[in-house]
C-alpha cells in the first residue's frame, strides 16, 4: 500500500512556506503534527498496515519523522486488535475479523499521548469492472471502470503501482576472460541477466471520484494513469495494478480537498493544512492538529499488461546514451580503459553497418553504436563489437533491478 498523504502534505507545507510573511499560525508554528495514514482492511485474511509520522520544521533535513514504539489498535464492539510495529513507524496486523458496521483506531505514543479516530464506517468495496487504455497526446491513457448495483458505494478512491520491463540497448552474447585468454558464449540466462531489467513505481497522486450526481452508482473510465510519449515504460512490457477502496462521503471530501490543495500549494483561496479536518483526534490535547483520514473497507484489485505494439501506437523511445553514460562513470569500475578492464561484454552481431558507404547509425540506440569498438581475432574477420558497459548492462541506465516479478507473464 502506498501512502500519498505524506507527499501531498510536504507539497502543501512547502507551498505555504513560500508565502512568508503571511504564514498562518498553524503553518508558521512548530510543526510536530501527527500524520496517520492507511486503510483498515476489512477483506478476510488480508493485511492491515498503518503508518505514523510526525511533520518537522522548515529547514529540517527530513520533512517527516517516524513515530516509533507506539501502541496502535483497531477496536470494534469492545474487541481490541493490537497492531505490531513491523518497520519504523509502520504498524500492522495480518488479519482482522470485522463483523460490525463501524470500528475505531486507537493510538498511544511512547510519550503517552493518546489519539482516537471517530467511528469509522466499514464499507464493502465493489469489484473493478475493467482497466482499459487508449492513445492520447502521443502517449497512452489508462482508465478504470466500476459500479455498485446496490448503489451503496458512491464514493471511490484508488491507488496503483506500475511495473515495466526494459532492456539494455544491446544484448551481450559473448564474454572474454583476460585471465584465461578465452572467448565464451553466454548461456541464455546469463544473457538475460544483463539484458532484462524490471522497475516498479507506486502512485503518489490522490485519485478519487463520485457517482453522487448520477442515477446509477457507476464510475466509467476514470482516468487513472498516463504514459507519456517515448516513455521507457512501454519500451517492452508494462503492468498497471490498481487497488480500489469504497469511501464514506466525509472521507471522499477530505481526500478531494487534499488533492486540490496539493495540486495548488499556497493558493490563498484554498484550505490550509490545519483546516483539512481528518477523523483522528487527540484525547490528550483537544486543540492539537492531527493530520490524516483513516478509512475501513474491503479492497478490490485488478492488473493489466500492455505490450509494446507498433500497430497500436508509434512508440519512439530514445535511449539517452550521454545521460546514462555519465551516471555509469560515477560507479567504481565502470567505463575504465579497454586495456585495464578484466572482463568485457561483447556481441556476436554488428549493430553498425560494416559497409563504409552505408549511412551512419540512425537506430534508437545509435549513440551506443557509435561508441562500439570492433573486435578482430585474426586477420580482417570481424567477430563483433566491444561496448561500453552502459550499452550492455540494463542495471546501469535504469532504476530497476534484475529480479523478474513472480506475476510477470514471460
Looking at the DSSP bridge assignments, the partners of residue 165 are: 198, 237
Model confidence pLDDT, tens digit, residues 29-45: 557 899 999 999 999 99
The distance between the two most distant Cα atoms of the chain, rounded to a whole number of Å, is 86
pLDDT of residue 335 exceeding 60: no
Separation of alpha carbons 138 and 318, rounded Å: 14
Rg (CA), the chain: 27
398/81: higher pLDDT: 81
What's the rounded mean pLDDT across residues 67-72?
A: 98
Q: What is the mean pLDDT of residues 231-254?
A: 96
| Residue 379 backbone dihedrals phi, psi, to 5 degrees | 70, -160
Query: In this predicted model, which residue has the larger pLDDT, 234 or 31?
Result: 234
Residues 6 or more apart in contact with residue 200 via CB below 8 angstroms: 161, 162, 163, 400, 405
Strand partners, 222: 144
Residue 26, C-alpha cell as written in the block:
498553524
Give me the pLDDT at residue 329, please. 36
Q: Identify the bridge partners of residue 242 per DSSP, sorted by sequence position.
A: 160, 302
CA distances, 363 to each of 2, 127, 274, 360 (Å)? 38, 44, 54, 9
Domains of the chain (ranges; CATH) run 4-125+246-299 (2.60.40.10), 167-199+316-396 (no CATH)
Q: Indicate the pLDDT class of residue 319, thresholds 50, 70 and 90.
A: low
Q: Is 292's pLDDT higher than 60? A: yes
Amino acid at each position: 500500500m502506498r501512502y500519498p498523504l505524506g507527499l501531498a502534505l510536504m507539497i502543501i507545507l512547502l507551498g505555504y512556506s513560500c508565502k512568508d510573511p503571511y504564514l498562518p499560525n498553524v503553518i508558521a508554528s512548530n510543526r510536530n503534527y501527527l500524520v496517520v495514514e492507511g486503510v483498515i482492511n476489512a477483506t478476510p485474511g488480508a493485511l492491515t498496515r498503518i503508518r505514523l509520522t510526525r511533520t518537522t520544521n522548515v529547514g529540517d533535513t527530513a520533512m517527516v519523522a517516524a513515530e516509533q514504539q507506539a501502541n496502535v489498535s483497531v477496536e470494534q464492539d469492545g474487541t481490541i486488535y493490537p497492531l505490531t510495529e513491523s518497520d519504523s513507524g509502520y504498524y500492522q496486523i495480518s488479519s482482522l475479523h470485522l463483523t460490525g458496521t463501524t470500528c475505531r483506531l486507537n493510538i498511544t505514543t511512547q510519550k503517552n499521548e493518546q489519539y482516537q479516530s471517530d467511528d469509522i464506517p466499514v464499507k464493502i468495496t465493489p469489484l473493478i469492472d475493467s482497466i482499459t487504455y487508449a492513445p492520447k497526446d502521443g502517449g497512452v491513457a489508462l482508465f478504470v471502470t466500476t459500479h455498485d448495483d446496490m448503489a451503496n458505494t458512491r464514493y471511490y478512491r484508488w491507488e496503483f503501482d506500475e511495473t515495466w520491463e526494459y532492456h539494455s540497448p544491446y544484448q551481450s552474447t559473448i564474454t572474454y576472460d583476460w585471465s584465461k585468454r578465452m572467448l565464451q558464449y553466454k548461456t541464455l540466462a546469463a544473457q538475460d541477466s544483463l539484458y532484462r531489467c524490471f522497475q516498479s513505481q507506486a502512485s503518489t497522486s490522490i485519485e478519487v471520484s463520485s457517482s453522487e450526481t448520477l442515477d446509477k452508482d457507476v464510475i466509467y473510465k476514470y482516468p487513472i494513469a498516463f504514459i507519456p510519449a517515448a516513455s521507457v515504460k512501454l519500451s517492452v512490457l508494462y503492468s498497471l495494478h490498481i487497488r480500489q477502496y469504497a469511501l464514506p462521503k466525509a472521507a471522499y471530501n477530505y481526500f478531494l480537498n487534499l488533492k486540490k490543495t496539493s495540486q495548488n500549494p499556497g493558493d490563498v483561496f484554498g484550505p490550509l493544512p490545519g483546516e483539512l479536518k481528518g477523523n483522528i483526534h487527540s484525547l490528550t490535547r483537544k486543540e492539537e492538529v492531527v493530520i490524516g483520514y483513516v478509512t475501513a473497507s474491503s479492497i478490490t484489485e485488478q492488473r493489466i499488461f500492455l505490450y509494446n505494439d507498433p500497430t497500436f501506437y508509434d512508440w519512439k523511445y530514445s535511449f539517452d546514451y550521454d545521460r546514462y553514460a555519465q551516471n555509469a562513470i560515477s560507479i567504481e569500475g565502470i567505463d575504465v580503459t579497454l586495456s585495464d578492464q578484466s572482463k568485457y561484454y561483447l556481441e556476436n552481431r554488428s549493430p553498425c553497418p560494416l559497409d563504409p558507404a552505408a549511412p551512419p547509425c540512425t537506430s534508437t540506440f545509435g549513440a551506443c553504436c557509435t561508441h562500439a569498438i570492433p573486435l578482430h581475432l585474426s586477420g580482417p574477420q570481424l567477430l563483433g563489437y566491444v561496448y561500453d558497459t552502459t550499452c550492455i548492462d540494463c542495471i546501469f541506465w535504469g532504476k530497476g533491478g534484475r529480479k523478474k516479478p513472480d506475476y510477470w507473464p514471460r
